[in-house]
């Protein structure tokens, strides 16, 4: 089977490309490198020892995308490409809606023209509203708190309507919790082009002395130690979730939605302390004001993904901390 991976040079896209190749799939990557680098393509080839075609293009560019489908027999698509910075989305919502919705619509149109009807979509835990105890089930209320989350939810609605109109589609929506970690080779990982918004990319830059200090946003949450609790999942586990999703679509058509997380919450302080211990490095921090829009606790109910996909995250917080730092150290000395 040949799978088109949009955004395949990005953080989750590159790790999923590796797992796809390992599992025996052929892949084609398209990426415009807006938040990634073309070197990643060679690194995926180096890790797997396998070759594949890649195209530098914007998924919103229908003519270019059509060429990809004409030149390759694509059997299914995993759609990662999209903007993902929450703060930026609040400042420039139109840009976010334009890019994230346009790319999905363009892709679905071109897929339909080529009778390619297997689709795995990168959604996010941020489609959920605030739940009372922080645990999110797939049928928990949906109420994103920022434009980025809205673009994910609107895309989910589009996919639901598409399936309703034509049940020969097979669609899996994956709602990611907090992916961190990196491939154990240290060749690929998370490397945001701007100042990171998310916790782990910030921690690694403090540990490697690029930044002086981590600012922990609030220590008065109703949690074990006052700092925010999230469901961190190793990016390799998350990537394997996509293989499970494709296996599901190879068996049956339908529209399926799954959380991908570990089902366990970890606080900011727990993550920082584990990182320091595992890597034997100091992470200086100070407590600052809460970040607008943050909740006390957010973690996944993972029962559905386990029951229906046989998916279970296996890597520990220690693995995530070790692999995140290994990637940074390896790429500093290169
Ligand atoms: C954030 C987004 C979420 C998005 C996800 C993508 C917000 C409100 N939510 O989730 O919509 O899907 O990223 O990965 O932006 N923290 C610090 N200091 C930092 C950075 C973070 O203390 O410099 C804390 C946060 O307050 C939070 C935890 O670390 O308690 C995790 O933050 P982050 O990595 O940004 O993820 P989320 O907020 O869960």
Burial (CB count <10 Å: 0-12, 13-18, 19+), residue 280: exposed
The whole-number pLDDT of residue 292 equals 84
Among candidates 297, 192, 310, which has minimal Cα distance to 241?
A: 310
* Pocket of ligand 1 contains residue 170 by CB under 6 Å: no
* Pocket of ligand 1 contains residue 263 by CB under 6 Å: no
How far apart, in Å, are the Cα atoms of 168 and each of 28, 73, 198, 273? Answer: 23, 18, 38, 49
Q: What is the pTM of this model?
A: 0.97
At 115-130, the pLDDT tens digits run 999 999 999 999 998 7
Answer yes or no: is pLDDT of 304 > 50. Answer: yes
At 29-57, the pLDDT tens digits run 999 999 999 999 999 999 999 999 999 99
The whole-number pLDDT of residue 129 equals 80
What are the φ/ψ torsions at residue 264 (nearest 5 degrees)?
-125, 140
Mean of per-residue pLDDT scores for the chain = 96
Q: Is 148 a catalytic residue?
A: yes
- Under the banding of pLDDT at 50, 70 and 90, the label for residue 153 is very high
Q: Which atom of ligand 1 is nearest to the CA of 227?
A: 30
> How many angstroms does the Cα of residue 197 sit away from the middle of ligand 1?
7
* Pocket of ligand 1 contains residue 130 by CB under 6 Å: no
* Pocket of ligand 1 contains residue 175 by CB under 6 Å: no
Ligand 1, atom 16, lies closest to the CA of 199
Answer yes or no: is pLDDT of 333 > 60. Answer: no
Of 80, 126, 152, 321, the one to substitute when testing ligand 1's pocket (max ligand atoms within 8 A of C-beta) is 126
Pairing of the two strands 2-6 and 76-79: parallel
> How many angstroms does the Cα of residue 126 sit away from the middle of ligand 1?
10
> How many angstroms does the Cα of residue 121 sit away from the middle of ligand 1?
21
Answer yes or no: is pLDDT of 334 > 70. Answer: no
Answer yes or no: is pLDDT of 152 > 80. Answer: yes
By the 8 A CB rule, do 262 and 302 touch? Answer: yes
- Report the percentage of the chain scoring pLDDT > 70: 99
> How many angstroms does the Cα of residue 293 sit away from the middle of ligand 1?
10
* Pocket of ligand 1 contains residue 230 by CB under 6 Å: yes
* Pocket of ligand 1 contains residue 198 by CB under 6 Å: yes
Ligand 1, atom 15, lies closest to the CA of 86
The Cα–Cα gap between 322 and 316 comes to 10
The Cα–Cα gap between 239 and 265 comes to 20
Of 155, 175, 291, the one to substitute when testing ligand 1's pocket (max ligand atoms within 8 A of C-beta) is 291
**Sequence-ordered list of residues with C-beta below 8 angstroms from that of 110, at least 6 positions apart, any chain:** 62, 65, 66, 69
- Under the banding of pLDDT at 50, 70 and 90, the label for residue 131 is confident
Place of tokens 């829009």: 293
- Report the percentage of the chain scoring pLDDT > 90: 93
Burial (CB count <10 Å: 0-12, 13-18, 19+), residue 193: exposed
Of 87, 156, 198, the one to substitute when testing ligand 1's pocket (max ligand atoms within 8 A of C-beta) is 198
Which residue segments constitute the domains of the chain, with CATH numbers given?
2-181+231-261 (3.40.50.720)
> How many angstroms does the Cα of residue 199 sit away from the middle of ligand 1?
6
Choosing from 148, 232, 258, 327, which is the catalytic residue?
A: 148
> How many angstroms does the Cα of residue 24 sit away from the middle of ligand 1?
34
Burial (CB count <10 Å: 0-12, 13-18, 19+), residue 70: exposed
316-334 mean pLDDT: 91
Burial (CB count <10 Å: 0-12, 13-18, 19+), residue 38: exposed
The whole-number pLDDT of residue 39 equals 96
- Under the banding of pLDDT at 50, 70 and 90, the label for residue 332 is confident
Answer yes or no: is pLDDT of 139 > 50. Answer: yes
């Amino acid at each position: 089977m040949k799978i088109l991976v949009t955004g395949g040079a990005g953080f989750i896209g590159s790790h999923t490309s590796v797992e796809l190749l390992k599992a025996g799939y052929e892949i084609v990557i398209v990426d415009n490198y807006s938040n990634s680098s073309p070197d990643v393509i060679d690194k995926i080839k180096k890790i797997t020892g396998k070759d594949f075609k890649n195209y530098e293009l914007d998924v919103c560019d229908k003519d270019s995308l059509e060429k990809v489908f004409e030149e390759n027999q694509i059997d299914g698509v995993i759609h990662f490409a999209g903007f993902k910075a929450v703060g930026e989305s609040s400042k420039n919502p139109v840009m976010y809606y334009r890019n994230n919705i346009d790319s999905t619509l363009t892709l679905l149109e071109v897929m339909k023209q080529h009778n390619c009807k297997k689709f795995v979509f990168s959604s996010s835990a941020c489609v959920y509203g605030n739940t009372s105890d922080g645990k999110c089930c797939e049928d928990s209320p949906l109420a994103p708190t920022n434009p980025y989350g809205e673009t994910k939810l609107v895309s989910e609605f589009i996919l639901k309507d598409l399936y309703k109109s034509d049940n020969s589609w097979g669609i899996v929506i994956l709602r990611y919790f907090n992916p961190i970690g990196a491939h154990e080779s240290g060749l690929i990982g998370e490397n945001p082009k701007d100042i990171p918004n998310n916790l782990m990319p910030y921690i690694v830059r403090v540990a490697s002395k690029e930044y002086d200090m981590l600012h922990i946003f609030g220590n008065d949450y109703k949690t074990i130690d006052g700092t925010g609790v999230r469901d961190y999942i190793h990016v390799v586990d998350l990537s394997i979730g996509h293989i499970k999703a494709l296996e599901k679509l190879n068996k049956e058509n339908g529209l399926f939605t799954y959380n991908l997380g570990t089902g366990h919450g970890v606080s900011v302080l727990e993550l920082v302390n584990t990182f320091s211990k595992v890597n034997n490095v100091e992470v200086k921090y100070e407590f600052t004001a809460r970040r607008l829009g943050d909740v006390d606790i957010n973690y996944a109910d993972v029962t559905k993904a386990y029951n229906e996909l046989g998916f279970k995250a296996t890597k520990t917080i220690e693995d995530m901390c070790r692999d995140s730092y290994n990637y940074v150290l390896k790429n500093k000395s290169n």
